[in-house]
Structure 1
Amino acid sequence: MSSSNQFALLKSRRFAPFFWTQALGAFNDNVFKNALVIMAVFQIAAHDPARAASYTNMAAALFIAPFLLFSATSGQLSDKYDKARLAQLVKLFEIGIMVVALFGFLAKSIPLLMTLLFLMGLHSTLFGPLKYGLLPQVLDSRELVGGNGLIEMATFLAILLGQVLGAELISFPDHGTWMVGAACITTALIGLACALRIPPVPAPDPQLKINWNPFSETWNNLGYIRGNRAVLLSCLGISWFWFFGSVFITQLPTYAQNVIGGNAAVYTFLLTLFSLGIGIGSLLCERLSGHKVEIGLVPFGSIGMTLFGADLYFAKPDASGALGLTVAALLQQPWIWRVLIDLLLMAVFSGFFIVPLFALIQTRSDPARRSRVIAANNILNSLFMVVAAGLSTVLLNVAGLSIPQLLLTTALLNAVVAIYIYCLVPEFLMRFLSWILVNTLYRIKLEGLDRIPEEGPALLVCNHVSYMDALIIGGSVRRPVRFVMYYKIFNIPLLSFIFRTAKAIPIAGYKEDPQLLAKAFDEVDQELAEGNVVCIFPEGGLTKDGEIAEFKSGVEKILERRPVPVVPLALRGLWGSIFSRRDSALGRSRLPRRFWSRIGLAAAAPVPPEQASADYLEAQVRALRGADA
């Protein structure tokens, strides 16, 4: 059953065992990786900077290489087999790696440990498509954003805690290697125990034939996303997030030491702040989106990432001149609070950016290929991270940029990339503007919107109360909606941009413009033929008295050409707003008299096309609206 609180999912067996399994896996990855890097850099190659740098770069390359090589194979396995069973096998693999790792740490064998790091990257590669492919199978649509938010929050906190623990344990004199090995084995065993409690998750495509050639299958996987524009751009958006985030995270140690003059504890403090910010943003997505996939948060997130990322440069453009400051000493510097606020809010807005994109991919991908789509996304993520590392090296070492200048450049690039994506897929920007307008003015109670079919054509019919009706419906219904609206409303300044971006269909009366009327009917038929959702207001105009006017016969003409299910909708509480005609009817000026007022949008069960006469649909909408206009 659907839960209204995302934290309630942590008590549910369909989610909780999987949540802890993936969190413990991310935690163990980073305990192992950070302990290895610190042992190699600070113990084995302490007096050889060139050798230390090569170990660091080798570790990063070996961990990310499996994502490029084996994500395509991993996606096939997750689509073909029970994901719970796969998770258990991956955990057994992890235990084997960690048992051998104990001997590698004791012997301080860098070649062995680097090989095992590659295998841990393979472990994460196998778990990635499984993780995001499983969520839509065990959560309903109202839980998906909250579930993704919890997963993102747990992943970043697990990475943070793993890095901290790995660094602390390996630093213990004499017993550090034992402690790291024991911690990794223990964590892997607990992860297996959690995985064994994951209920079976049916395979979406059990007849799939595995293509073991990683190169041809990688190309096939990329083809799955090329054919779906919204999914492709969402994958590119997520990959850009990893480009953006990897630049900031990679430069954070140097920024902490050379720019703000902090010691190692200051770096840990900044990393903690950044991880907490992403966790907070990820969790807030559910509340801000109203328990649905709200892609309007994506532009909101990118705006915050750009503004606060750029302000990080202006907060501290030059090195402080200090060296080895503790956290307490740093907090006494007057300029540090602006830096900390920028870093925190940039991370919070990053959470707003990433969570809806993952949810969008999950909901708009073919269920039988969902894990392979996510595998393609992982491949793109890895490529973008490699490019980020290369570009950072060029800008720092060849172009001569300072660390703050590099971060400013990345923030400005974020604005350019965001504008480009929103030009390619205007739906993102349209939903953002709708979300801002509607959630500033209203508190919406939604009822029965899950009755709107998830797939295939459908016609929505609704009472028409205000100029905001289309924005409210479009911002509340999870599927993209094509609106048919009176051409004079369609041409209202500012709103016209949103309506055009949403591909609304202007219509006029026969006496006003018969050609526009005929064109509108043709466009409606074409949209329904393509399997889309169309919404009409059968009254033909805004109500003048708050009551529902007679439904015109246009709805019947639409259904004669294209019989599709009809879903009655009813708007409540909008009569009397500045965007309704109440003030005009009362002969007074239109002024805003209340903000954030309570309104409602309700949906009835779909009506078969053979029963959907104008009179019947009007009665349905009247009953659904009740006495509240």
Structure 2
Amino acid sequence: MTIEHNPFSLLKTRRFLPLFTTQFLGAFNDNVLKQALLLLITFQGGEVMGLSPALMVQVASGLFVLPMFLFSASAGQIADAFDKARLIRWVKLAEVGIALIAAAGFFFKQVPLLLTALFLMGLHSTVFGPLKYAILPQHLHPDEVVGGNAWVESGTFVAILLGSILGGLLIAVPGTGPAWAGGACVVLAICGFFACQAIPSAPPLGTVKLNWNPFTEIAQNMRIARGNRTVFMGMMGISWFWFYGAMMLSQFGPFVKDVIGGSEHLSTFLLSTFIIGIALGSLLAERASGGKVELGLVPLASIGMTVFGVDLYFASPATPHAGIEVAGFLALPGAWRLMADLVLIGVFGGLYTIPLYALIQTRCEPAYRSRIVAANNILNAGFMVASAGYAFFALHQGATIPEMFLYAALMNVAVAVFIYSLVPEFLQRLIVWLLVHSFYRVKARGYQNIPAEGPAVVVCNHVSFVDPLILMAESRRPIRFVMDHRIFRMPIINFVFRQGRAIPIAPAKEDPAMLEAAYEEVAKTLEAGDLVGIFPEGRITDTGELNPFKGGISRIVERTPVPIVPMALSGLWGSFFSRKDGPAMSKPFRRGLFSKIELHIGEALAPGDATPEALQQRVAALRSRP
């Protein structure tokens, strides 16, 4: 699919590049500190405060995410109350002080001091999180939000990779490794402070009365989030990913040391395969989404995470080797299979999270956006703490690390079934995405003409039985289609139409009650601020040409005056689903797979100008565009 916007152009703009750089350096610094500390504990520390390295790793991981659970709500309301760019500058200045504490801890090899710095770095990330995600929709155009999220997430995970590699390399330097790690933390914090100075202003979008009680504010944020079921389930999906991912990331060191029998370098190498996979998946999500929030990728990604998570268990060696390095590991039977599992878990993880992040940013009230992001961070933190608790409990009960990975992959199935049963839109979008992308390559122009919010009626020529599916797949907003009741009841795609809340309609002479009920439902939908889609011809063309537009559109806008957005499909005539040379769906593959089709979206007409004749002329003109 091709889209009009080039996501690489974001990296050339002042409204995105400084934020991206600041976020990258912050994530880089987090992971230099975290990885150096975890490897110090795992490979050089022995028992720390009476705990084994594997258990101490879980304590450190829990301390890092604890501030997100305790203080995200307060951070969210502060982000909504003040200029976000100014707050980011104060946060990055605080990071410099935290880095100095970490440097002292590394220099004197004081684990308690390092754990304090790790907790404070978690607090820094807690305050920064709502700022970075809420500022994206404020600075980016609607068709850039998915691309912006993809760059932020892929950049974050590349920073995690580089930070983990650098932290691992520095801490392994004989004698002076900890001092080098501490110095790197300070340098990165200073660079981040200077990078954030160029972030453009992002003033508050509403008035916020600050509540300094974090616990009542947590409850308030969660009430706001639960007000939109789709957004809340998206947050639950993201949080589950962090349960899954945090458990894998925290156990990489022990997995490599105790299961594979490898060194610090092999741990860093295998961690990099997983993180590269997430970064690739994030960018692939932007490509597959076509610049819009594509929820259909989420169920597909869930399947991939489970399949390759289960295979990781079977690919793990039965007995560890002795101090094996990267070259020796790659020569082992099954090494490439294990690496492929790690990469593909990461790829499907990226495909899973990007649509969900874009969903919660674009479908929530803008004035509450930071608090919704904060509520998401609270859930993320709760799930990450639960992940640490799960790993702690499983290890105490004698489970092996591969078994922990297996159980998490199987739990992913239960979580997916729970979320998708409550919000069928995810499965509906998956079916639409698979149907459309299995048969066609769609080139769409004029996305910006669909209103980003508010009611409107979308009108289009009717060429085939899959026209509604293509428009559903290409629209950044859900569309409730008015369609012939016989098409509505067609097998297989009936599920898509029902979950998309399509409105069945019949001619007055056939079922006048259904006709009146349809017009009533259209009015209610527009009054609720949603999009309605109609095919004014009233039937699928038998000739490939436009049939006369009927007067139903006039009746709709007389009752509810809203903008009318004309669209035109071309390239579908002669396809399997069209009526060329006889009934539709009677001649398989007569056009082959991946046929090229085009969708032209015109500028909206005012209600008073949207007569059937004027609309037909506009759609005909759009059809003839090259």
Q: Same fold (TM over 0.5)?
A: yes
Instruction: Tell me how far apart the structure 2 counterparts of residues 110 and 321 of structure 1 sit (CA, whole Å).
Output: 29
The amino acid across from 1:269 in the alignment is F
Task: Give the structure 1 partner of residue 374 of structure 2.
Answer: 375
Task: Give the structure 1 partner of residue 349 of structure 2.
Answer: 350
Task: Say which SS state the counterpart of residue 132 (structure 2) adopts.
Answer: helix
Task: Say which SS state the counterpart of residue 584 (structure 1) adopts.
Answer: coil
The amino acid across from 1:382 in the alignment is A
8 Å CA contact 2:527, 2:560 repeated in 1: yes
Task: Give the structure 1 partner of residue 87 of structure 2.
Answer: 86
The amino acid across from 1:384 in the alignment is F
Instruction: Tell me how far apart the structure 1 counterparts of residues 234 and 115 of structure 2 sit (CA, whole Å).
Output: 33
Task: Say which SS state the counterpart of residue 293 (structure 2) adopts.
Answer: coil
Q: Displacement of 1:296 after TM fit?
A: 1.2
Instruction: Tell me how far apart the structure 1 counterparts of residues 320 and 193 of structure 2 sit (CA, whole Å).
Output: 49
Instruction: Tell me how far apart the structure 2 counterparts of residues 586 and 436 of structure 1 sit (CA, whole Å).
Output: 20
Instruction: Tell me how far apart the structure 2 counterparts of residues 51 and 257 of structure 1 sit (CA, whole Å).
Output: 14
The amino acid across from 2:342 in the alignment is L
Larger RCO of the pair (alpha carbons < 8 Å, separation 6+): 2
Q: Displacement of 1:55 after TM fit?
A: 4.4
Task: Say which SS state the counterpart of residue 380 (structure 1) adopts.
Answer: helix
Q: TM-score, normalised by structure 1?
A: 0.94
Task: Say which SS state the counterpart of residue 116 (structure 1) adopts.
Answer: helix
Q: Displacement of 1:492 after TM fit?
A: 1.4
Q: Which runs of 5+ in 1 are unaligned?
A: none
Q: Residues 389, 36 of structure 1: CA spacing in aligned structure 2 closer, same or farther, 3 A cutoff?
A: closer
1:147-180: CA deviations, max 9, x gaps? 1111111111212222232233233344334322
The amino acid across from 1:562 in the alignment is T
8 Å CA contact 1:129, 1:374 repeated in 2: yes
Task: Give the structure 2 partner of residue 616 of structure 1.
Answer: 614
Task: Give the structure 2 partner of residue 214 of structure 1.
Answer: 214
Instruction: Tell me how far apart the structure 2 counterparts of residues 418 and 585 of structure 1 sit (CA, whole Å).
Output: 39
8 Å CA contact 2:41, 2:48 repeated in 1: no
Task: Give the structure 2 partner of residue 509 of structure 1.
Answer: 507
Q: Displacement of 1:41 after TM fit?
A: 5.4
2:312 is the alignment partner of 1:312: yes
Within-5 A mapping of 1:322-337: 322-337=321-336
2:282 is the alignment partner of 1:282: yes
Q: Which runs of 5+ in 2 are unaligned?
A: none
8 Å CA contact 1:257, 1:323 repeated in 2: no
8 Å CA contact 1:247, 1:392 repeated in 2: yes
Q: Residues 178, 320 of structure 1: CA spacing in aligned structure 2 closer, same or farther, 3 A cutoff?
A: closer
1:524-563: CA deviations, max 9, x gaps? 1221121111101111110000011011111222222222
Task: Give the structure 2 partner of residue 4 of structure 1.
Answer: 5
2:404 is the alignment partner of 1:406: yes
What is the aligned length? 624
Q: Displacement of 1:37 after TM fit?
A: 3.8
The amino acid across from 2:291 in the alignment is H
8 Å CA contact 2:456, 2:565 repeated in 1: yes
Instruction: Tell me how far apart the structure 1 counterparts of residues 606 and 552 of structure 2 sit (CA, whole Å).
Output: 17
8 Å CA contact 1:583, 1:590 repeated in 2: no
Q: Residues 272, 392 of structure 1: CA spacing in aligned structure 2 closer, same or farther, 3 A cutoff?
A: same
Single out whichever of 357-366 and 53-62 deviates more from structure 2: 53-62
1:330-388: CA deviations, max 9, x gaps? 22223222222122111101100001100111111111111110000000001111112
Task: Give the structure 1 partner of residue 199 of structure 2.
Answer: 198
Within-5 A mapping of 1:480-499: 480-499=478-497
Q: Which among 525, 541, 544 is matched to residue 542 of structure 2? A: 544
Task: Give the structure 1 partner of residue 232 of structure 2.
Answer: 232
8 Å CA contact 1:75, 1:129 repeated in 2: yes
Instruction: Tell me how far apart the structure 1 counterparts of residues 111 and 377 of structure 2 sit (CA, whole Å).
Output: 27
Single out whichever of 329-338 and 131-140 deviates more from structure 2: 329-338
Within-5 A mapping of 1:602-613: 602-613=600-611
Single out whichever of 281-290 and 466-475 deviates more from structure 2: 281-290
Q: TM-score, normalised by structure 2?
A: 0.95
Q: Displacement of 1:601 after TM fit?
A: 1.2
Within-5 A mapping of 1:74-113: 74-113=75-114
Task: Say which SS state the counterpart of residue 50 (structure 1) adopts.
Answer: coil
Task: Give the structure 2 partner of residue 553 of structure 1.
Answer: 551
Instruction: Tell me how far apart the structure 1 counterparts of residues 301 and 359 of structure 2 sit (CA, whole Å).
Output: 15
CA RMSD of aligned residues (A): 2.2
8 Å CA contact 2:29, 2:189 repeated in 1: yes
The amino acid across from 2:90 in the alignment is L
8 Å CA contact 2:58, 2:392 repeated in 1: no
Task: Say which SS state the counterpart of residue 504 (structure 2) adopts.
Answer: strand
Within-5 A mapping of 1:7-18: 7-18=8-19
Instruction: Tell me how far apart the structure 2 counterparts of residues 545 and 102 of structure 1 sit (CA, whole Å).
Output: 75
Single out whichever of 44-53 and 148-157 deviates more from structure 2: 44-53
8 Å CA contact 2:4, 2:445 repeated in 1: no
Single out whichever of 93-102 and 415-424 deviates more from structure 2: 93-102
The amino acid across from 2:240 in the alignment is W
Instruction: Tell me how far apart the structure 2 counterparts of residues 486 and 512 of structure 1 sit (CA, whole Å).
Output: 12
